[in-house]
Structure 1
Amino acid sequence: MEKCLLLSLILLFFHFPSFSSSSSFNSSLCHHDESFALLQFKSSFTIDTPCVKSPMKTATWKNGTDCCSWHGVTCDTVSGHVIGLNLGCEGFQGILHPNSTLFHLAHLQMLNLSNNYFSNDFSGSHFHSKFGGFMSLTHLDLSSCFFQDEIPSQISDLSKLQSLHLSGNDKLVWKETTLKRLVQNATSLRELFLDYTDMSLIRPNSINLLFNRSFSLVTLNLRETILSGKLKKSILCLPSIQELDMSYNDHLEGQLPELSCSTSLITLDLSGCGFQGSIPLSFSNLTRLASLRLSGNHLNGSIPSTILTFSHLTFLYLDDNVLNGQIPDSFHLSNKFQIIDLSGNKIGGELPTSLSNLRHLINLDLSYNSLSGQIPDVFGGMTKLQELRLYSNNLVGQIPLSLFKLTQLVRFDCSYNKLRGPLPNKITGFQQLVRFRLNDNRLNGTIPSSLLSLPRLLNLYLSNNQLTGHISAISSYSLEALNLGGNKLQGNIPESIFNLVNLAVLDLSSNNLSGVVNFQHFGKLQNLYSLSLSQNTQLSLTFESNVSYNFSHLRELDLSSINLTNFPILSEKFLSLDYFDLSNNNLNGRVPNWLFETAESLNLSQNCFTSIDQISRNVDQLGSLDLSSNLLEGDISLSICSMKSLRFLNLAHNKLTGIIPQYLANLSSLQVLDLQMNRFYGALPSNFSKYSDLRSLNLNGNHIEGHLPKSLSHCKTLEFLNLGSNKIEDKFPDWIQTLQDLKVLVLRDNKLHGHIANLKIKNPFPSLVIFDISGNNFSGPLPPKDYFKKYEAMKAVTQVGENTSLLYVQDSAGSYDSVTVANKGINMTLVKIPINFVSIDFSRNKFNGGIPNDIGELHALKGLNLSHNRLTGPIPQSIQNLTNLESLDLSSNMLTGMIPAELTNLNSLEVLDLSNNHLVGEIPQGKQFNTFTNDSYKGNLGLCGLPLSKKCGPEQHSPPSANNFWSEEKFGFGWKPVAIGYGCGFVFGIGLGYYMFLIGKPRWFVMIFGGHPKRRVNRRT
Structure 2
Amino acid sequence: MGWFLMWLHLFLIHFPSFSSSSSSFNFLCHHDESSALLQFTCPFLQVESSSFLNSYPYFCDEYLAKTKTWINGTDCCSWVGVTCDTISGHVIGLNLGCEGLEGVIYPNSTLFHLSHLQILNLSSNSLSAYIFYFKFDEFPSLTYLDLTYCDFIGEIPSQISHLSKLTSLRLSENNELSWKETTLKRLMQNATNLKELFLDGTNMHSVRPNSIDFLFNHSSSLSTLNLGNTGLRRNFKKRILCLPSIQELYLSGNDFRGQLPEFSCNTFLRILDLSECQLQGPISLSFSNLTHLNSLTLTGNNLNGELPTSLSNFQHLIHLDLSFNLLSGQIPDVFGRMNKLHKLRIRSNNLKGQLPSSLFNLTKLTKLDCSYNKLEASLPNKLTGFQKLIHLRLSHNFLNGTFPFWLLSLPSLIHLDLSNNLFTGHIGAISSYSLEEISLCGNKLQGNIPKSIFDLANLNILCLSSNNLSGVVDFQHFTKFQNLYSLSLSYNSHLSLSFESNVIYNFSQLRRLELSSLNLTTLPKLSENSLRLIQYLDLSNNKINGTVPNWLLERVSLEMLNLSQNLFTSMDEISSNNYQFDHLDLSSNLLHGELSMSICNLISLRILNMANNKLTGPIPQCVANFPYLQVLDLQVNKFHGTLPSKFSQYCQLHELNLNDNQLEGHLPKSLSQCEYLEVLNLGNNKIEDNFPDWLQTLQQLNVLVLRDNKLNGLISNIKFKHPFPRLMIFDISGNNFSGLLPTTYLRSFQGRMIDPQGGDNSNLQYMDMQLLNSTLFYDSVSVRIKGINSTLVKISRNFATIDMSRNKFEGDIPDVVGEFHALIGLNLSHNSLTGIIPRSMGNMTTLESLDLSSNILSGVIPAELSNLNFLEFLDLSNNHLVGDIPQGKQFNTFSNDSYEGNSGLCGLPLSKKCGPEQQSPPSPDKLWSEEKFGFGWKPVAIGYGCGFVFGIGLGYCMFLFGKPRWLVMIFGGQPKRRVKRRTRVRMTNGSTMDQMIQMS
Q: What TM-score bracket applies, with the shorter chain setting the length?
A: 0.7 to 0.9
Q: Does residue 114 of structure 1 match 2:95? A: no
Q: Structure 1: which amino acid aligns with 2:923?
A: P
Bigger CA drift: 945-954 or 770-779? Answer: 945-954
The correspondence of residues 518-667 of structure 1 with structure 2, limited to 5 A, is 518-536=474-492, 541=497, 543-544=499-500, 546-566=502-522, 568=524, 574-576=530-532, 577-598=534-555, 599-617=558-576, 622-667=581-626
Q: 1:800 to 1:140 in 2, by over 3 A?
A: farther
Q: Structure 2: which amino acid aligns with 1:435?
A: H
Match of 2:421 in 1: 441
Q: Does residue 382 of structure 1 match 2:362? A: yes
Q: 1:656 to 1:40 in 2, by over 3 A?
A: closer
Match of 1:37 in 2: 36
Q: 1:297 to 1:793 in 2, by over 3 A?
A: farther
What percent identity do the matched residue pairs reach?
A: 54
Q: 1:572 to 1:44 in 2, by over 3 A?
A: closer
Q: 1:594 to 1:371 in 2, by over 3 A?
A: closer
1:674-696 C-alpha deviation (Å, 9 max, x unpaired): 33222333333334444544443
Distance 2:198 2:458 in 1: 43
Offset of residue 742 of structure 1? 3.1
Contact 1:392-1:803 within 8 A present in 2 as well: no
Secondary structure class of the residue paired with 1:403: coil
Q: Structure 1: which amino acid aligns with 2:181?
A: E
1:644-681 C-alpha deviation (Å, 9 max, x unpaired): 44444333323333333445444545443333222333
Secondary structure class of the residue paired with 1:285: coil
1:757-781 C-alpha deviation (Å, 9 max, x unpaired): 3222345334433221111010112
Match of 2:114 in 1: 105
Q: 1:790 to 1:442 in 2, by over 3 A?
A: closer
Distance 2:980 2:541 in 1: 44
Q: Does residue 283 of structure 1 match 2:263? A: yes
Distance 1:616 1:219 in 2: 60
Q: 1:196 to 1:775 in 2, by over 3 A?
A: same
Q: 1:275 to 1:580 in 2, by over 3 A?
A: same
Contact 2:225-2:250 within 8 A present in 1 as well: no
Q: 1:511 to 1:880 in 2, by over 3 A?
A: same
Distance 1:377 1:866 in 2: 57
Q: 1:796 to 1:373 in 2, by over 3 A?
A: closer
Q: 1:295 to 1:943 in 2, by over 3 A?
A: farther
Q: Select 1:326's aligned residue among 306, 326, 342.
A: 306
Match of 1:708 in 2: 667
The correspondence of residues 621-770 of structure 1 with structure 2, limited to 5 A, is 622-668=581-627, 670-770=629-729
Q: Does residue 961 of structure 1 match 2:924? A: yes
Q: Does residue 203 of structure 1 match 2:208? A: yes
Q: Select 1:889's aligned residue among 851, 854, 868.
A: 851
Distance 1:382 1:205 in 2: 44
Bigger CA drift: 638-647 or 924-933? Answer: 924-933
Q: 1:175 to 1:840 in 2, by over 3 A?
A: same
Match of 1:167 in 2: 172
1:617-651 C-alpha deviation (Å, 9 max, x unpaired): 57776554433333333333343344444444333
TM normalised by structure 2 equals 0.82
Q: Select 1:862's aligned residue among 824, 830, 839.
A: 824
Which structure 2 segments of 5+ residues have no match?
A: 1-22, 50-59, 987-1000
1:246-299 C-alpha deviation (Å, 9 max, x unpaired): xxxxxxxxxxx554743654333343333434322x324343333333333444
Offset of residue 602 of structure 1? 3.3
Q: Select 1:94's aligned residue among 100, 103, 126.
A: 103
Offset of residue 748 of structure 1? 0.3
Secondary structure class of the residue paired with 2:445: coil
Q: Does residue 339 of structure 1 match 2:319? A: yes
Which structure 1 segments of 5+ residues have no match?
A: 1-23, 235-256, 476-496
Secondary structure class of the residue paired with 1:283: coil
Match of 2:374 in 1: 394
Distance 2:501 2:808 in 1: 64
Match of 1:462 in 2: 440
The correspondence of residues 498-517 of structure 1 with structure 2, limited to 5 A, is 499-510=455-466
Distance 2:78 2:618 in 1: 84
Q: 1:905 to 1:641 in 2, by over 3 A?
A: same
Offset of residue 827 of structure 1? 1.3
Q: Does residue 830 of structure 1 match 2:792? A: yes
1:899-922 C-alpha deviation (Å, 9 max, x unpaired): 555555544443343444455666
Distance 1:652 1:28 in 2: 79
Q: Select 2:348's aligned residue among 352, 368, 393.
A: 368
Offset of residue 103 of structure 1? 2.3
Secondary structure class of the residue paired with 2:447: coil
Bigger CA drift: 170-179 or 345-354? Answer: 345-354
Match of 1:262 in 2: 243
Distance 2:524 2:44 in 1: 60
Distance 1:619 1:260 in 2: 55
Match of 1:416 in 2: 396
Q: Structure 2: which amino acid aligns with 1:869?
A: N
1:392-421 C-alpha deviation (Å, 9 max, x unpaired): 333333212343754222232333222332
Distance 1:274 1:796 in 2: 29
Match of 2:18 in 1: none
Contact 1:767-1:791 within 8 A present in 2 as well: no
Distance 1:880 1:663 in 2: 49
Secondary structure class of the residue paired with 1:367: coil
The correspondence of residues 868-887 of structure 1 with structure 2, limited to 5 A, is 868-876=830-838, 879=841, 882-887=844-849
Contact 2:448-2:470 within 8 A present in 1 as well: no
Distance 1:978 1:1017 in 2: 38
Segments ≥4 residues shifted beyond 6 Å: 26-29, 426-429, 798-803, 973-979, 1000-1007, 1011-1019
The correspondence of residues 158-197 of structure 1 with structure 2, limited to 5 A, is 158-197=163-202
Q: 1:799 to 1:111 in 2, by over 3 A?
A: farther
Offset of residue 754 of structure 1? 0.9
Q: 1:206 to 1:942 in 2, by over 3 A?
A: farther
Q: Select 1:134's aligned residue among 126, 136, 139.
A: 139
The correspondence of residues 465-480 of structure 1 with structure 2, limited to 5 A, is 465-474=443-452
Q: 1:461 to 1:738 in 2, by over 3 A?
A: same
Contact 1:749-1:773 within 8 A present in 2 as well: yes
Q: Structure 1: which amino acid aligns with 2:850?
A: L
Q: 1:423 to 1:964 in 2, by over 3 A?
A: closer
Bigger CA drift: 452-461 or 374-383? Answer: 374-383
Distance 1:71 1:611 in 2: 67
Count of matched residue positions in the alignment of Structure 1 and Structure 2? 932
Question: Could you say which structure has the larger radius of gyration?
Answer: 1
Q: 1:976 to 1:347 in 2, by over 3 A?
A: farther
Contact 2:857-2:880 within 8 A present in 1 as well: yes
Secondary structure class of the residue paired with 2:263: helix
